[in-house]
Structure 1
Amino acid sequence: MTITSTNQAQFFASLKSAIPSYASLVDEVAETLNVSMDSAYRRIRGEKLLDFEELRILCQRFNVSLDKFFSLNSNSIMFQGKTNTYQDDSFMMWMEDVLAQLNLVNSFSHKHVYFLVKDMPPFHHYYHPALAGFKFFFWMKSILLFESLKSVKFSIADNHFEKYREITQKTIKIYNRVPTSEIWNEEGLNTTLRQIEVYHEMGLIKNPEDTITLYNCVLEVIDHLEKMAETGKKSILGHPPTEESAEYKMYLNEIVLGDNTFMAELGETKITYLNHSVMYFIGSTDQKFNESMFKNLENLMKRSTLISGTGEKKRKQFFNKLRKKVEIKLSRVDLRIDTND
């Protein structure tokens, strides 16, 4: 297989779409290959052909497939992502990776994210410190298997949120600047509600009053989501939208249960993130794959009801059903407390 100046130029064109709009391709190439600016320009223009080691380094740095370089028409789809490292700082690493991906999306002038909701998106848990603290504790104890939490029970008073307060606030700030379309189903709250319920039943929540508080936090988040859907704008819990608040579209699909697929538009490029291992994602910039995924999302949105900015009756019915789910859980906790007393 021969490297030509033509497919090398096409390769660098694909790299250009993989970096933030404010970044310089020649600067990135020069730094990655440790060559001069002139040498980088010559490679980008196809005047100097890349060797295979340089090709490997660039593909690794920019997370692109060799298929793109050789214009191969294969059925393979290249994904990149991270997995649980089972280290003490693995959760912070996960938080930093999520923030980095959002910063990348936000760096483009044209940007939009689409979320096919199975579980309430993690960002919505961040609106409430107590609820975020519970989710962080659950992820670290039951998913990341932190040895230090093996015999620890959850307590709001222990403030599991505080260590991650700064990065959580940064994440919410960036997320609220990115236009978003979410396709929901009535099952979207089930995972979080079930996690609270199971921890309560297993005695992994120290104080039953904390269980009640967590359910009330979920109700406050539901109220906030309804306000965002009503205004069609993102905002911080308890605050109205600001000039920086991005568009928020919420669709209701009563037939299809989502799978937490997350797609981002970055200029002319699309990235699809697929969920794995509960909280991790792998991403692909494969053009054919992304165009197919985007058409699927478009079809789902066409067959869904837009309940943000319009559809007031449907919107109220939907959020009232979500509240009813939480109220049923709350009533069961109250009964347990009365019995124990």
Structure 2
Amino acid sequence: MSDFQVAFFERLRAALPDYQNLAQSVADALNISMNEAYKKIRGNSALSLQQVVQLSDTFNVPFIYNPNQSSSVTFNFLSVNEDLNMVNYLGDLLANLKLIQQSKTKHITITTDDIPIFHFFKYPELTAFKLFFWANNVNNSELKFDGSTITDEIIALSGELHRLYLEIPSTEIWAKDTVHGTIEQIRYAYEAGYISNKALAEKVVEQVRYCLTDMNMYAISSKKTIDPNHTFNWYNCDVLGSIAYLVDFKESMLCFNRFNTFNYLKTNDQFYCEQTKRWMQGLINKSIAFSGQGEKHRNKYLYESFAACDALIGEIAG
């Protein structure tokens, strides 16, 4: 029990913002003395089942126990109903991103064949289109995209998500066709009549171009803001296999795997996260660097992506 308990407290520590003391937080949550809290953190005093539940509920961190060291992995996921309430969806993303951003040591590594949605959040129409497209996939509906879904609440949530992501050091590994997935979604929506407004369709494509221009700026300086701590590394790998987000807190890790188009499974199983980290490092070793000095390959990739955007704008305008 002692080893599992110590590991549990390490996950609690990683979930706390820098300014929050673990022992004080545990003492407050369990209504015990600081001295007793330190004993439990060190594993010298066993947690009761009720205390485990109390800490898990308070800090939203599960206590994981695998009998006989079995290879099973526990995942959590946000249950989104058929209405696909995007405010709730974005709110859940925001809660997760805040926990990551508040940690003293953090880094996100992403493998993806679709542009990470955090880059879209700067652009309301593009964000709304992406959420609309996902909603249509879930509901198999015939809804029209006219921009009416861009509410003030969604704009506010999106802006905060974008700001937080810029402040988190990250490494992104994109596939060969990562950009084209979004372009083809816009083309399909326009040709199928889901977007009847030409100006709106062109604006969404233009915002994909803006998004790629942002990526180029991040890659040139190897950081997402003027703060040198907000580092950014960008790679291109022809074959990825899955969309995954790995958050490394140094003391522990957290992994998100995307599924069902827009949703994700989340686990802090350290063995699974370690395997994912090794897999991602292997991909990086086989990838072409776009950030820093990777100007030649990055420019070619972006040129082809911009050309695809321009071609679609031409189709819409014609």
Shorter-chain TM-score tier: 0.7 to 0.9
- 2:71 paired with 1:75: yes
Distance 2:156 2:119 in 1: 16
Structure 2 residue runs of 5 or longer lacking an equivalent are none
What residue number does 2:104 align with? 109
Which secondary structure does the structure 1 equivalent of 2:177 belong to? helix
Deviations 1:57-79, CA, capped at 9 Å, x for gaps: 44454223123xx7x41111122
**Is contact 1:222-1:319 (8 Å) kept?**
yes
Shift of 1:242: 2.8
Deviations 1:75-109, CA, capped at 9 Å, x for gaps: 11122221213457x31121111112111111122
Which secondary structure does the structure 2 equivalent of 1:257 belong to? coil
**Is contact 2:11-2:252 (8 Å) kept?**
no
**Is contact 2:257-2:266 (8 Å) kept?**
yes
Q: 1:264 aligns with which of 238, 247, 263?
A: 247
Q: 2:88 aligns with which of 68, 93, 107?
A: 93
What residue number does 1:326 align with? 309
Distance 2:274 2:254 in 1: 10
Give runs of aligned pairs for residues 1-341 of structure 1, distance below 5 A. Answer: 8-9=5-6, 11-33=8-30, 35-37=31-33, 40-41=37-38, 43-44=40-41, 46=43, 48-59=45-56, 61-67=60-66, 72-86=68-82, 90-143=85-138, 145=139, 152-156=143-147, 158=148, 160-234=150-224, 241-243=225-227, 246-253=230-237, 255-335=238-318
Distance 1:155 1:218 in 2: 18
Question: What is the identity, as a one-letter code, of the residue corresponding to 2:64?
Answer: S
Q: TM-score, normalised by structure 1?
A: 0.82
Distance 2:38 2:280 in 1: 39
Which secondary structure does the structure 2 equivalent of 1:264 belong to? strand
Structure 1 residue runs of 5 or longer lacking an equivalent are 235-240, 336-341
What residue number does 1:339 align with? none
**Is contact 2:190-2:201 (8 Å) kept?**
yes
Deviations 1:141-168, CA, capped at 9 Å, x for gaps: 443x49xxx6642124x36153311111
Instruction: Check 1:27–1:184 CA distance in 2 against 1; reply closer, same or farther (3 A cut).
Output: same
Distance 1:165 1:319 in 2: 27
Backbone CA RMSD of aligned residues: 2.7
Residue identity over aligned pairs, in percent, reads 23
**Is contact 2:106-2:169 (8 Å) kept?**
yes
What residue number does 1:237 align with? none
Shift of 1:289: 1.2
Question: What is the identity, as a one-letter code, of the residue corresponding to 2:52?
Answer: L
Aligned residues: 315
**Is contact 1:111-1:179 (8 Å) kept?**
yes
Shift of 1:232: 1.6
Instruction: Check 1:300–1:327 CA distance in 2 against 1; reply closer, same or farther (3 A cut).
Output: same
**Is contact 1:176-1:245 (8 Å) kept?**
no
**Is contact 1:63-1:80 (8 Å) kept?**
no
Deviations 1:277-308, CA, capped at 9 Å, x for gaps: 21121221112111111111111111111111
Deviations 1:192-211, CA, capped at 9 Å, x for gaps: 22221222122111312322
**Is contact 2:110-2:172 (8 Å) kept?**
yes
Distance 2:80 2:254 in 1: 22
